[in-house]
Structure 1
Amino acid sequence: MRHCLSLDDFSRDEILQILDLSASLKSERKNGVKKPYLEGINLAMIFEKNSTRTRVSFEVGINELGGRGLFLSSKDLQLGRGEPIKDTARVIGRMCDMAMLRVNCHEDLVEFARYANVPVINGLSDKFHPVQLLADYLSMVESGKADAKIAYVGDGNNIAHSWLMLASKLGLSLNIATPKGYEVSSEVLEKAKQNAKISGAKISIFDDPKEAVCGASVVSTDTWVSMGQEEQKAKKLADFAGFCVDSALMSLAKPDAMFLHCLPAYRGYEVSEEVFEAHADEIFNEAENRLHAQKGLMLWLLRHKNE
């Protein structure tokens, strides 16, 4: 059974197939073409964490493909009352054709996928956010920056880990800059380095954002204070001093560099108002691409689920 728990679940060619399919579906939508590729398919959408883009993009996406999305918060399920994950997974797998989960703990997602017997998609976990990076790379391809040098500046979180997986699979050049104490997972970094030996990716880790951004064609960041971490806000603002992507930092990138942000964005923290608004078209195209990338992913998974 094929799942999307991280981009490490796919080969380079498979990632490109998903993105080609996504681009084709985006073109069809733009031209008013609607085909029920997934007619009769039921997608269970399980949310432990609130969402704007993930819920809207998956729900609209499955509907446009001819299927149906079932929104299920943890409060709606027996999970909220202590039912084992593996039991919920076996029930969902017998009633639905696919499941997307947005969870607090990545290991819960792994256990769900082990027992569900249907394709499972990671809509976000504490470790990875693969669907976001599919949208980001689709945005890069559309901007003629498929092979561009990337700089990620910020927390060594699920977005940073997903950049590592994407770059290491596709053979890209990636710089990551995080403050001391907020480095990426050593396990994820080691896996990326192993992938890079095959793909030829160049991965560099910094604690100085200026070094990371210098000469980059794509600059990416994420919020410093993730959902559920609000009590850490004051400390993080102090620890991340100098990591705001402002005009001075962007000036070190190439003149035509694009800026990506997975949203929500907190102006004055991880990105300045000036940089955000200067790159708003890129950012909101990136947000829209969540819809197209996820449609491509769902269609690809169901076509290849038993491979």
Structure 2
Amino acid sequence: MKLPSSSATELNKVNLEHMVSMKDFSVKEMDNMMELMSYLKKAREDNAIPQLFKGKSVGMIFEAGSTRTRVSFEVAATLLGGHALFLSPKDIHLGGKESIHDTSRVLSRMCDIIMARTNSPETLDGLLDMATVPVINGLDTRFHPTQMLADLFTIKEHITDGRQLSDLTLAFMGDATDVCRSLMLTCAKYGMGFKQIGPKKYQMEKEWVDLAETYCAESGGRIEITDDVDAIKECDVVYGDSFYWVTQYDEKEERLAAFMPDYVITEELMAKAKPGSMLLHCLPANDKEEVTRGALESNYSVAFDEAENRLTAQMAILVYFTHKHNITASAETEAMHKEKIEGFLSQL
């Protein structure tokens, strides 16, 4: 006979949502997240952020290091009245002494949300299998949805001439990274133009281009994968990312030889883009490799606004994915528990 659970948490929540990829959300849902971002950013400007994560915790699993993802989630939880726990592989038994499934079940009993930045899709998928709280993908080599939310919001903030996202074309300079893949799919959903500009060997896999094309068929978006640097001439947004990542150090020299100097974002290259175009970069920037410091510090660069908006995005994510499951105790219930506990303590 299976014993009934004595958990104090509300397990198996109805309509539980996770954030794995922006492809899983409708344009309306993404717009709702960004509208929430705008409210929270204004509240931060006024030093008046509502405590919408009060008494809650986010368990943050980091298999891969990050400046922006870690700091933004920790600060977001604090600003909203909650708490963030940093959990590296050396701090917990993830996939070692304890299975990923069991880790997910335990964290679900103690935390209100799980954020994972992993070195493999398998780790994220294992957490998703058993989680009974929302799981947020902080990057898993396939997708980077939290970055996408910050990117879209930053682009919208800097459109000053009345155009919509669907009026824009974005050029991604470089390798078919998780950021490139995520941008392509997100742009396609919004009906934007998207171009990956890079050497043929490092262009996006056909299966993902095909999926983006299906979104374009509905939205009116445009996808182009090319090695022609001059394709930047038609673009309103230019996006940079590293030509190699931590798991690709053994390929570093080969990759740099393939990408440099043609695909480096320089001030001269930006001059070829549409007038008024903006430069984004997910950072960290190797400013002697994929982008020059001059371009990064130019008046058309919004890379550091973009970085700050990682915090804006994480605040919205923590609220968006937990607010439906909030249980607010009545004053009477709080008073009843307080009286019982204080009465017990007075007798000790």
Task: Quickly name the TM-score band, shorter chain normalised.
Answer: over 0.9
Q: Is the 8 Å Cα contact of residues 280 and 301 (structure 2) preserved in structure 1? A: no
* 1:133 and 2:143 correspond: no
CA contact (8 A) 1:42 1:97 kept: yes
1:296 correspondence with 2:311:
no
Structure 2 partner of 1:39? 54
SS of match in other structure, 1:99:
strand
Q: SS in structure 1 opposite 2:247?
A: coil
Between 1:158-167 and 1:276-285, the stretch displaced more is: 276-285
Deviations for 1:14-37, whole angstroms, at most 9, x for unmatched residues?
000000101110011001112111
Q: Residue 83 of structure 2 corresponds to which residue in structure 1? A: 68
CA distance in 1, matches of 2:273, 2:184: 20
Q: Which amino acid aligns with 1:222?
A: D
Q: Stretches of 4+ moved more than 4 A in 1?
A: none
Name the residue aligned to 2:6.
Answer: none
The aligned counterpart of 1:150 is 170
Matched ranges for 1:1-307 at <5 A: 1-79=16-94, 81-144=96-159, 146-147=164-165, 148-211=168-231, 213-241=232-260, 242-279=262-299, 282-304=302-324
List per-residue Cα deviations over 1:282-301 (Å, max 9, x = no partner).
11110000000111122111
Rounded to whole Å, the distance in 1 between the matches of 2:290 and 2:325 is 38
TM-score, length basis structure 1:
0.95
Check the 8 A contact 1:267/1:273 in 2, yes or no. yes
Count of equivalent residues: 305
Counterparts of 2:278 and 2:164 in 1: how far apart (Å)? 12
**Contact 1:175–1:204 at 8 Å: present in 2 too?**
yes
Q: Which has the higher contact order (CA 8 A, sep 6+)?
A: 1
Percent identical: 38
Give the residue type in structure 2 aligned to 1:193. E
Question: What CA distance in whole angstroms lies between the structure 1 residues aligned with 2:221 and 2:129?
Answer: 30
Structure-2-length-normalised TM-score: 0.84
Relative to structure 1, the CA distance from residue 181 to residue 128 in structure 2 (aligned partners, 3 Å threshold; closer, same or farther) is same
User: 8 Å contact 2:196–2:203 — kept in the other structure?
Assistant: no
Read off the aligned partner of 1:126 and give its amino acid letter.
Answer: T
Matched residue type, 1:14: E
Give the CA deviation at 1:42.
1.0
Looking at structure 2, the residues matched to 89 and 226 of structure 1 have their Cα atoms a distance apart, in angstroms, of: 27
